[in-house]
Amino acid sequence: MWHLRGAVNCHAFRRPWPTSQNFDQKRSFFLRFGPKTHWHTGCLADHRHIALCAAHTERKPVARDFERTPNLFKEQQISMTTKRQEGFSLIELLIVVAIIGIIAAIAIPNLLASRRAANEGSAIATMRVIFSSEATYQATTGAGAFGDLAALNTAGLVDNVVANSGGGTPKSGYIFAAAPVTITNLPAFDATAIAGVHTSVSSVTGTGSRAFYVNESGVMWFNTTAAAPTCTATTARTVTAGTGGGILN
């Protein structure tokens, strides 16, 4: 008696036979039939087989069964995944914090020093502008006399930022001042630039470590204190630089 029910190893008519792994070779055998022999439409046309046991429902283990991960391996995978999600240990976090602290201790002071150097460079440039503006003002609007920052601003020789720096809004961390000096038969002026916050007050928030001074001679002086160098209101015009000070140019 041939197939009483659908054989699990049979394939559609005239389809290529994929492999012999899906066929029970122990209980079946191949026979060659002619092309006009159509007694079993579920098998190949050129290679017929008598599936004596094709209708059996017993399931044989195949190679895919060995590819399945045992429960033990799955439990190990879950354990390893859970371990990776636990986070860093306290020692690892302390090492990272220590490294960040070392980098900050090296970088922050250099950054602050660079900012102060930039502020001082800007202050020196502004002092040169004030000196040039005073000379222009004396030759034009001042009619031989020097003026203060307000007069220079009115004449359009300095901007509002420089003119209003003494009102609580420093320009690049520096406060500027300029005023004419009354000396008999000698037009003169004094111009100063001091740090808004000197480094002697705060090394972190300090905007500058030097103060600057210039007068009608064009010679610029500096010192390392919070107060600018001073000059006598006499024809001698003697400048006192102060601590750590001297001529800048």
Residue-wise pLDDT for 44-90, tens only, equals 444 444 444 444 455 555 555 555 555 555 556 655 555 556 688 99
Determine, yes or no, domain membership for 183.
yes
Q: What is the mean pLDDT of residues 85-101?
A: 89
Determine, yes or no, domain membership for 104.
no
Instruction: Judge if 65 and 165 occupy the same domain.
Output: no
Record the pTM: 0.63
**Selection from 219, 28, 49, 236 nearest residue 124 by Cα:** 219
Query: Tokens 């994929």 label which residue?
Result: 18
Determine, yes or no, domain membership for 177.
yes
**pLDDT reported for residue 27:** 45
Which one has a higher pLDDT value, 210 or 7? 210
Tokens standing for 41?
């439409």
Instruction: Judge if 153 and 41 occupy the same domain.
Output: no
Which secondary-structure segment (H or E) carries 91?
Answer: helix 90-139
Residue 178 has pLDDT above 70, yes or no: yes
Tell me the C-alpha distance between 146 and 167, whole Å.
Answer: 21
Residues 108, 111, 117, 118: is their CA dihedral positive or negative? negative
35 is in which domain, residue-wise? Answer: 1-69
Determine, yes or no, domain membership for 176.
yes
Q: What would the DSSP string read from start to end of 107-134?
A: HHHHHHHHHHHHHHHHHHHHHHHHHHHH
Determine, yes or no, domain membership for 89.
no
Pairing of strands 174-181, 188-195: antiparallel
Model confidence at 168, pLDDT cuts 50, 70, 90, reads: confident
What rounded mean pLDDT belongs to the chain?
Answer: 79
Instruction: Choose the final residue of a domain: 69, 88, 108.
Output: 69
Model confidence at 239, pLDDT cuts 50, 70, 90, reads: very high
Determine, yes or no, domain membership for 179.
yes
Number of domains in the chain: 2
pLDDT digits (tens, 9 = 90+) for 2-54: 444 444 454 444 445 555 555 444 444 444 445 554 444 444 444 444 444 44
Determine, yes or no, domain membership for 100.
no
Residue 135 has pLDDT above 50, yes or no: yes
Angle at alpha carbon of residue 120, lines to 116 and 124, rounded to 5°:
170
Instruction: Judge if 131 and 215 occupy the same domain.
Output: yes
Residue 137 has pLDDT above 90, yes or no: yes
